[in-house]
Amino acid sequence: MATMKAVVLRKPFEVVVDEVERPTITDPADVLLRVDLTAICGTDLHPYDGRIELEEDVVLGHEFVGTVVEVGSAVNLVSEGDRAVASCVVSCGHCRNCNRGRPGQCAGTRIFGLGLTFGSLSGGQAEYVVVPNADLTLRKLTDEGAGNDEDKLFVGDIMATGYEAVRKVIRPGDSVAVVGAGPVGLCAAMSANVLGASRVMVVDKVAARLKEAEAIGAVGIDASVTDPTEAVQDLTDWRGADVVIDAVGHPSALLSACALVASGGSISIPGVYLEDSIDIPFGDLYLKGVSIHQGVANIINYMDETLALIAAGKLDPSRFISHRMPMSEATEAYRMFAEREATKIVLDPTR
């Protein structure tokens, strides 16, 4: 049995780097990738802290780029030796929602590194990973244009997620407020600039993250010293933001988003919610005619756009990487990320 090193979640708060069985392709549409770079995502924290309950011993990770080492007989778009980035979400490509352009709501949605619940796909925080439905899930990488593999790594999740959250609701000239300056929030703010926002405001309490937001041209609003609602009202001639992005996925963030949005505006929620119910000011939202958009991101719909914008030098999400670490230090990396000591951590599986 061939083995490999991988980041394994034994149980909540117990991440180890262990020797596990190397995955093999089992379907003609599969590709085996040697992982070159992998990242820790905010979604990884859900099983890490037990908010999403998984079985024991799950190989984590759903953001990765790699090199193709083996292709199934039905794969046409990549070949051995190609470098490629994978969507974190694997869809079937032929169900009703896939045919309606909603692969994030595919009846058979699978997500790498989230266990049996999401289709038993072994994660990408490993030396090797099998990518199902590869022609749909992967995008081949080239060296043309701007951007490096660290930028393109994020097209598989945070960049496409943040981009979609803005792209599906914005009109040119809109004001955009982003609640939460984590990686997805920062990618959303960066996308809002590219997609024609007149002003981008980012709300958070972590000074380093607000500094990142300001560095890409957003107005940082420190919720620990300023009332974000007042601040956004002041910056929008008392209208509120036309577009509000909840990039946190916590009821308090959603309530904040409800308070920031303008009449006729939209709330877009890339943050993850699993609560049975949440109290929101529904009458206020109704009277303001606010639209709410949410759901698992339709990553594959936006990978080509974000790769093109990276190549054009208009998106550069690698600037949000705060730490580059060997995968062997994943235990410490998870601790740091969970305690917000790092904005974004990239792991090198070869070290």
Partner 1 sequence: MGYFADANEVDKYIGGVFRAAAEHPESGPKFRSAGINLRVLYTDPDVEMWVLMREPAMEVTTGPSDETADITLMMRSDTGDKYWRGEYNLAVGLAKGEVKAKGPVNKILKLVPLTKPLFPMYRDLVADKDAAQA
Residues that bind partner 1 (CB under 8 A): 52-56, 91-92, 94-95, 106-110, 115-120, 274-276
Q: How far is the CB of 53 from partner 1 (least distance, A)?
A: 5
Q: Rounded to the nearest whole angstrom, what is the least distance from the CB of residue 23 to partner 1 in the complex?
A: 14
- Nearest distance from C-beta of residue 284 to partner 1, angstroms: 25
With contact defined as beta carbons under 8 Å apart, do 84 and 34 qualify? Answer: no
Kindly tell me which of 249 and 317 has the beta carbon lying closer to partner 1.
249
| Signed CA dihedral, 301, 304, 310, 314: sign only | negative
Q: Minimum CB separation from partner 1 for residue 336, in Å?
A: 26
Q: Report the helix count and the strand count for the chain, using DSSP H and E.
A: 12, 18
| CB nearer to partner 1: pick between 46 and 199 | 46
Q: Closer to partner 1 by CB, 117 or 193: give it.
A: 117
Whose structure tokens read 């988003």? 257
From the CB of 55, what's the least distance to partner 1, in Å? 4
Instruction: Please check whether residue 202 is in contact with residue 217, taking contact to mean a CB–CB distance below 8 angstroms.
Output: no
Q: What share of the chain is helix, strand, coil (3-state, %, to 5)?
A: 30, 25, 40
All residues at 6 or more sequence positions from 55 whose CB lies less than 8 Å from its CB, including other chains: 115, 116
C-beta closer to partner 1: residue 55 or 284: 55
For residue 324 the two structure tokens come to 């580059």
Nearer to partner 1, 237 or 276 (CB): 276
What region does 162 belong to: left with phi over 0, alpha with psi -120 to 50, or beta? alpha
Q: Are 41 and 334 in contact (CB under 8 A)?
A: no
Residue 141 or 296 having the CB closest to partner 1: 296
Residue 165 Cβ, how far from partner 1 at the closest point, in Å? Answer: 20
In angstroms, the Cα distances linking 316 to 56, 190, 249 are 36, 8, 24
Report the chain's terminal Cα–Cα distance, integer Å.
22
Q: What tokens appear for 53 in the block?
A: 């309950």
CB of 106 to partner 1, least distance (A): 6
- Give, as one character, the DSSP assignment of residue 57: S
Choice between 51 and 171, CB closer to partner 1: 51
Q: Please say which residue, 289 or 295, places its beta carbon nearer to partner 1.
A: 295
As measured in angstroms, the least distance from the Cβ of 129 to partner 1 is 17
Q: How far apart are CA 183 and CA 299, in angstroms?
A: 16
**Cβ closer to partner 1: 137 or 191?**
137
Which 3-state string (H, E, C) describes 308-342? HHHHCCCCCHHHHCCEEEEHHHHHHHHHHHHCCCC
Query: According to DSSP H, which parts of 127-182 are helical?
Result: 134-137, 149-153, 158-167
Shortest CB 204 distance to partner 1, Å: 27
